[in-house]
Amino acid sequence: MELLVSPINTDEAKAAFFGGADIIDVKNPKEGSLGANFPWVISAVIEAIESKKPVSATIGDFNYKPGTASLAALGAATAGADYIKVGLYDIQTAEQAEDLLSNVVQSVKRCDPNKMAVAAAYADYRRINSISPLLLPEIGAKVGADVVMIDTGIKDGRSAFEFMTEAELTTFVDAARNLNLRSALAGAIRFEDMEMVKRINPDIIGIRGMVCGGDRNDEIKQELVEKLRAQMG
């Protein structure tokens, strides 16, 4: 299981890197769960960690705007991100998800076929009026995505585990694996959740608030990244 930590600037990126994160995920929480940061911040983070770890970049929580999402994906890819992550925030049907994701994947792969396209859905999909994450592995495999992810859409301290059961999350991870996709789990994960996370066994866990001391609006602390890394084993 790999550890993805989401900094908002170079100082936080260094704390994540030196704390032992496997993937440095540049985001902007002011713009939502998967809020997009600026291209120059992505580039600065890559420089700050001397390209020693893969860098991910979120491009936003998207409703059905395939063209806008495709341009945002290309921007993140050309800024140097290795993983480009898009959230299906207000996507009403599997057909809309497939259309948006297929165009995002095309943008990413035309830039560099080695870059990874990440499709994210939300554990709290019912309260944000979006599609179930359980549909995502099949859609992701169909359009050529590399990673499928579950996060929470509304960041109010409630975790993914309050909206989906351990069995549902395990089904998601197993479905992704059976379709040769990598899986990622995020959404206000806490230290006390880690035994359950290990049982679910996603390929990647995504963290911010947990290593900020519980408040995602605080700064990432290297010692908390180190604590989590040690707990992961």
Q: Which of 14, 27, 52, 221 is catalytic?
A: 27
pTM, two decimal places? 0.95
Active site residue 85: yes
pLDDT, tens digit (0-9, with 9 covering 90-100), for 170-181: 999 999 999 999
Average pLDDT over residues 206-232: 93
Mind listing the pLDDT tens digit for each residue in 4-25?
A: 999 999 999 999 999 999 999 9
Strand boundaries in 68-174, DSSP class E: 83-90, 116-122, 147-151
Domain boundary assignment for the chain: 2-232
Indicate if 53 belongs to the active site. Answer: no
CATH superfamily of 2-232: Aldolase class I (3.20.20.70)
**CB contact set of 217 (below 8 Å; sequence gap of 6+):** 29
* Mean pLDDT (whole number) for 135-155: 97
The answer, yes or no, to whether residue 35 has pLDDT greater than 90, is yes
- Cβ-contact 172, 146 below 8 angstroms: no
pLDDT tens across 114-124, in order?
A: 999 999 999 99
Selecting among 85, 109, 155, 198, the annotated active-site residue is 85
pLDDT band for position 128 (cuts 50, 70, 90): very high
